[in-house]
Structure 1
C-alpha cells in the first residue's frame, strides 16, 4: 500500500527542550493508526506538526509525497482538533456549510455529505440549533462530522470520542473502518485503550518518543500482555526503569 504520511526523524523543541524526539512513522492508505500516550506526551503536537502548524527543528514530514507545510495538501486532510473550533453563534448546519466550503466542496456534494456525516454522529435533529446551546458532547460530535464531511483521503482525529456515549462510539468506529476500507488513511489519538485495539497499528508516545510500535497483536506478544492497556502500563514501567538506570531508550 502507498504511504499517505511519511515522517522521518521528527524533532520539535519548545524552549530548546525536545517535545517530540526523533519520531518516524509510515501511515499507509487503507490503514488506521492509533496514537496513545499520557497527557502531555506530545500527541497533539505531533498532529499539529503533520498539519504544518508546528515547524520541525529536525526531520521531514511528507503527505502524499509532498513536504509539509503545503497549502494544497490541506484540502486532502479531514481534521478534528482536541479543542472544538466552532462558531457558536451559528447553527450546526451553518458550521458544516462553512467548513465544507473551505474544503472546496461544491454545494450539491456538500448537501449530501452533510446529511451523511450528521447521521453518523447522531446530530441530524440538532443541525438547525445554535452551537451556543450544544452540550460538550454535541460539539465533539459536530467537530467529527466536519472532519468526515471533507471526504478527504487523510483523516486526522485528535481525541474524537471524548464525551461520546459507548453506543455512538461503536458506530463511529464502524464508520472509520468503512472509511479505511475505501482506501483512506486515518490517524487517531485516544486515551481509550479498547479503541487502540481496533487499529491496524498502535504507537505509544511517552516523553516525546515512540516507545512501542506495532499491531495490537504484536505489542501484546512483545509485552506478554492481554490488552493494550496492559502494554501501556508495562511499556511505561520499562521506560521508567531505563531512565533510572541512566539508559536512553
Structure 2
C-alpha cells in the first residue's frame, strides 16, 4: 500500500474541513478525489504530501509519516493554482527543481533532457515560461514533478483551465505514466476525467460519501437506463429490465442504451447529502 489515510480530521477554527476520512492508494493505481468546491479535497491532499498535519488520525506514505524527508523525495506534486517560475526558461524550471530535490548536477541534466523530449517541450525548452500557453505551462509543471522519478505523483486539479486538446494531452501522459507502474492521486472537478483515468474514486464532501471503481458506482446507483431513439431523436429514461425490453421492441430504427453517466450519479448523491 502506497498511501494509507486513517480516520483523519482537519479543522480551521470551528470549521471542519475533513471529517474522519479513511482511504488508501495501492501501487500502480490512479485514485481520484471528487467533490464540490469547499469539500476538503485540497486540504486532504496537502496532508498527504506533508504541507499540512492532521489534527486527528494518521497518514502513512510508503509506511512512513508524510512529513518524512525521505518520503518527500519519493513524491512528485502538482499543486492547485500553481505555475512554473515565469522568469526562468522551461529547461531551467525543470533542472533547478531537480537540484532542489537532491539530484546531482549530471542526473538533473539527464532527467531534464529526457522529460523535455518525452513531454514534447523541445521547441519550448529555451523559452521563458511567462510566454507559454496554459497547456505548455501545465506540461512544464508535470515535468517538474517528475524530474526526481517519483513513485507517487499527486495532481491537484491538473487540467483546470485547459482547452479540450490540452486536457487530452495531459490524460494521455497520465495513462502512459500509469502503464509504467506509477501510483497517482488526482483531484478533479471533471467527471469525465475521473471516469476516464481513475481505477477507484472517492466522492468526498468533508467526509467520504462513496468509494468504488467507476463501473461499480454506476452499477450500484443506476436506477434507470437512458435510451436514445435516433429515428425520432427522443431520449427516454426507463426503469427496470422488463420495461427496457418493451421500449426497445417498440423502436423501429437505430437506438442506443446507456447507464447514467458518473456525472448524473454524482449530482444525485451530492444533492442527497447537501
Could you say whether these structures have the same fold, taking a TM-score greater than 0.5 normalized by the shorter chain as the test?
yes
Alignment of 1:92-111 (within 5 A): 92-111=90-109
Partners of 1:160 and 1:119 in 2: how far apart?
A: 20
Does the C-alpha gap of structure 1 residues 27 and 153 become closer, same or farther in structure 2, counting only changes over 3 Å? same
Q: CA deviation at 1:61?
A: 0.3
Q: Which residue number corresponds to residue 255 of structure 2?
A: none
- The answer to whether the 8 Å contact 1:84/1:139 transfers is no
Q: Give the number of the structure with larger relative contact order, counting CA–CA contacts within 8 Å between residues 6 or more apart.
A: 1
Q: CA deviation at 1:178?
A: 2.7
Q: Which residue number corresponds to residue 272 of structure 2?
A: 238
- The answer to whether the 8 Å contact 1:121/1:168 transfers is no
- The answer to whether the 8 Å contact 1:140/1:162 transfers is no
Q: Which residue number corresponds to residue 243 of structure 1?
A: none
1:47 partner SS: helix
- The answer to whether the 8 Å contact 1:120/1:172 transfers is no
Partners of 1:155 and 1:82 in 2: how far apart?
A: 14
RMSD: 1.8
Specify every segment of 5 or more residues in structure 2 that has no aligned partner in the other structure, as ranges: 223-258
Q: CA deviation at 1:155?
A: 0.4
Does the C-alpha gap of structure 1 residues 41 and 112 become closer, same or farther in structure 2, counting only changes over 3 Å? same
Alignment of 1:5-154 (within 5 A): 5-154=3-152
Alignment of 1:203-218 (within 5 A): 203-206=202-205, 208-218=206-216
Report the TM-score when normalising by structure 1: 0.88
Q: Which residue number corresponds to residue 228 of structure 2?
A: none
Does the C-alpha gap of structure 1 residues 117 and 38 become closer, same or farther in structure 2, counting only changes over 3 Å? farther
1:15-66 CA distance string (max 9 Å, x none):
1321011111110001000111111211111111112211211000000000
Partners of 2:33 and 2:144 in 1: how far apart?
A: 21
Partners of 2:101 and 2:127 in 1: how far apart?
A: 23
Q: Number of residues paired by the alignment?
A: 237
Specify every segment of 5 or more residues in structure 1 that has no aligned partner in the other structure, as ranges: 241-249
Q: Which residue number corresponds to residue 158 of structure 1?
A: 156
Partners of 2:35 and 2:210 in 1: how far apart?
A: 10
